[in-house]
Structure 1
Amino acid sequence: MRIRLHGIFPTALTLVALVGCPPITEPPPPDNANSNTNGNDNSGGSDDALIRTESLRGVHSIVYQLQGDPQLELAPLRAADADLLVIDYSADGSDGAAFNPDQIAALRDSGPAGKVVLAYMSIGEAETVRFYFDNAWLTPDPSVSPEGPFTLTDAAPPFLAEPNPAFPDNLKVRYWDAEWQQIIIENAGGHAIIGDAKSYLDRIIDAGFDGVYLDIIDAFEYFGPNGSGERPTAASDMIDFVLAIGRHARQTRGKSDFLVFPQNGANIVDVDAFAPGEIPAGQTRAAYAAARRAEYFAAINGIGAEDAFYFGDADEDNPPNPQEDILSSLDDFRAAGLLVLSIEYLTQPAQIATFFDQAGRRGFVPFASVRALDRVP
């Protein structure tokens, strides 16, 4: 597993209304005067009464860990003073080291009130360590030269795009491709790559996770009109992908309380994310964006956002640099009753305390750690 960089390929290894869902009533915006400063104990200022999803109303602290040395260990996570965990579904990223239902149940039941446990899943990039990846798609062979640099071979599937320049063992994917979505969401069998094997999402559901934390949502920026331009409908395609993930878990699999958290890409519901050419005749761009926004908000339970307060080039401890457009978008998510997880890569206690105060005032649940996300702070 590798750590992604912020931006179009955000840091990550270190989150039509559904049929049958009740209508969503937007609660009032958060009380920005509510400050909840807790030093660096990873607890924050979420106001339970404003959170739409009942199982998330007690979430005031989180731990986000996706790797370890040499692998992810569950004992420290069971002992962690946290209400919500974001972890990989596997100790080392491979399917052979996937956690089993008993392990996840023990994690969920740990602590005085138990924990909500989300599984990390990248849907905007392919990772060479994952069960679906064939090393024949790249040269040199990733098992021999894991650092690359890689180029695609003729054997690579059409959905696979170029490697992430920062981390070449993560490759961009054309996430709207049906073959990729079958790997991620539901495999009816006979797949050209994974045969009759279970999809990524079904593996997570069967392991007993409470939900998924979806990474590389903002791949839509890379492929969309403001990026390469390859896919004019990139934002809508990503929204549809997230909606389909929720439908499969909640309806097809019958997990009605399954949680869906995108990570980053809060601007996916902005008006300018949608190309004029995709707007239906007789509908304004603003009205179309509002409808897509309502669908997206109804399908998700919260959002994770990295580097919104301390954006910069350093791995950790960047100076304050609030991304006001992103923070404004996150306020909208929060006002809609969605849980906002604010993640910063900080190690200095004074800076962490300031961040916790800032996040708490907006009603966000803060988390501070190293960018590698390889420990419980």
Structure 2
Amino acid sequence: MAARVWWAALLLGGCVGLSLESGVNRLPVPLSQARTWGYQLTGYGRDRLSRVTASPFDVVVVDTMDDDGQPWPAPEVARAARAHVLLGYLSVGAAEEYRPYWQPGWRHGIPAWLLNEQPDWPGNYDVAYWDADWQALTLRELDRVIDQGFTGAYLDLIDAYEQHPDRPAARAEMVGWVCRLAAHARARRAGFLIVPQNAAELIRDPLYAPCVDALGSEETYVYAMNRPTEAARRDALLADYALWKAAGKPVFTVDYADQPDLIGRTYAQARAQGLIPYVTVREADRLTPGQ
């Protein structure tokens, strides 16, 4: 999902007996050995990143800013990153008006790369992601993520090329854009992780695989909320996931459900396919305990 502003707090409601300090001394596993993951994109509250640090997940995705829109200070990031593979959320295929880079007076066409507002996500705008000015802005955002001390970046709206069927180069331009982001990050810090969300089929482009370390993918088994996906969608995604795994790149799936039977079935189905699943609610207003 594109909009961090609509995702509420990642709480520990389902994790009975977990103190805020319990995860501090655990060491992060390599991404290739991760077996659990979760994310929080807003609603940190007075606890800030303490609950993230204490959570039991191997990998955690968080927004790079607190609830007041201020970047997390490097010491807070470092503390959480000592316990997890900590990925900072960065939208590279859409602009968000609640980000510090947003300027008064911006609207469709001003600046030139700013396109239509997304109808399902108010405050989020499609962008001409191939535009040099948008890319320069986003690379500055990536620099901030690196400087904050995140283990890697979780790149959203990679599937934005699907919104431009009349642009023949749209898919190739997205591949090139992700690879540019990866090269920029790794030139600044060796081993910095690049994890795109969605657009699993891009693994079929031989230029793409060397640029990315893993895949995050939404709604493999369940649409938001509690609506099982079609067999054709599952089969197509699983075929792409097989290519990711064959390339040695883990696949992290997120599905949206709050019905116990459906949650349990989703975890079982995903794990049977060698995936790393997370099931939560669309609002992400609690840290679901995992299975």
Partner secondary structure for residue 105 of structure 2:
helix
Q: Do residues 130 (structure 1) and 99 (structure 2) align?
A: yes
Of residues 6, 19, 31 in structure 2, which corresponds to 1:56? 31
Q: Do residues 221 (structure 1) and 162 (structure 2) align?
A: yes
In structure 1, distance between residues paired with 2:114 and 2:173: 16
Partner secondary structure for residue 57 of structure 1:
helix
Structure-2 change in CA distance of 1:361 and 1:172 (3 Å): same
* Matching residue of 1:296: 208
Partner secondary structure for residue 295 of structure 1:
coil
* Matching residue of 2:10: none
Q: CA deviation at 1:57?
A: 2.8
Q: CA deviation at 1:335?
A: 1.5
* Per-residue deviation, residues 110-159 of structure 1 (Å, max 9, x unmatched): xxxx2100000001100001121113113xxxxxxxxxxxxx3x7x1110
Structure-2 change in CA distance of 1:71 and 1:180 (3 Å): farther
* Matching residue of 2:198: 264
In structure 2, distance between residues paired with 1:73 and 1:249: 26
In structure 1, distance between residues paired with 2:64 and 2:87: 9
Q: Do residues 342 (structure 1) and 247 (structure 2) align?
A: no
Structure-2 change in CA distance of 1:309 and 1:71 (3 Å): farther
- As a proportion of its length, which structure holds more strand? 2
TM (norm. structure 1) is: 0.67
Q: CA deviation at 1:58?
A: 2.7
Unaligned runs of 5+ residues in structure 1 are: 6-10, 15-39, 42-53, 139-151, 186-198, 271-292
Larger Rg: 1
* Matching residue of 1:305: 217
Structure-2 change in CA distance of 1:295 and 1:265 (3 Å): same
Partner secondary structure for residue 209 of structure 2:
helix
* Matching residue of 2:171: 235
Of residues 138, 142, 152 in structure 2, which corresponds to 1:211? 152
Q: Do residues 372 (structure 1) and 274 (structure 2) align?
A: no
Question: Is the CA contact (8 Å cut-off) linking 1:66 and 1:72 kept in structure 2?
Answer: no
Unaligned runs of 5+ residues in structure 2 are: 8-13, 16-28
Question: Is the CA contact (8 Å cut-off) linking 1:212 and 1:261 kept in structure 2?
Answer: yes
Structure-2 change in CA distance of 1:12 and 1:247 (3 Å): farther
In structure 2, distance between residues paired with 1:296 and 1:332: 12
Question: Is the CA contact (8 Å cut-off) linking 1:339 and 1:364 kept in structure 2?
Answer: yes
* Matching residue of 1:20: none
Structure-2 change in CA distance of 1:60 and 1:12 (3 Å): farther
Structure-2 change in CA distance of 1:66 and 1:72 (3 Å): farther
Q: CA deviation at 1:69?
A: 6.5
* Matching residue of 1:34: none
* Per-residue deviation, residues 158-208 of structure 1 (Å, max 9, x unmatched): 1010110112310000000000000111xxxxxxxxxxxxx1001000000
- As a proportion of its length, which structure holds more helix? 2
Question: Is the CA contact (8 Å cut-off) linking 1:317 and 1:347 kept in structure 2?
Answer: yes
* Matching residue of 1:352: 263
Q: CA deviation at 1:71?
A: 8.0
Partner AA of 1:222 in structure 2: Q
Number of residue-to-residue matches in the alignment: 267
The CA RMSD measured in Å over matched residues stands at 2.2
Partner secondary structure for residue 174 of structure 2:
helix
In structure 2, distance between residues paired with 1:374 and 1:205: 27
In structure 1, distance between residues paired with 2:81 and 2:91: 22
Question: How high is the sequence identity, in percent, across the aligned residues?
Answer: 32
In structure 2, distance between residues paired with 1:218 and 1:68: 26
Q: CA deviation at 1:93?
A: 6.9
In structure 2, distance between residues paired with 1:238 and 1:81: 34
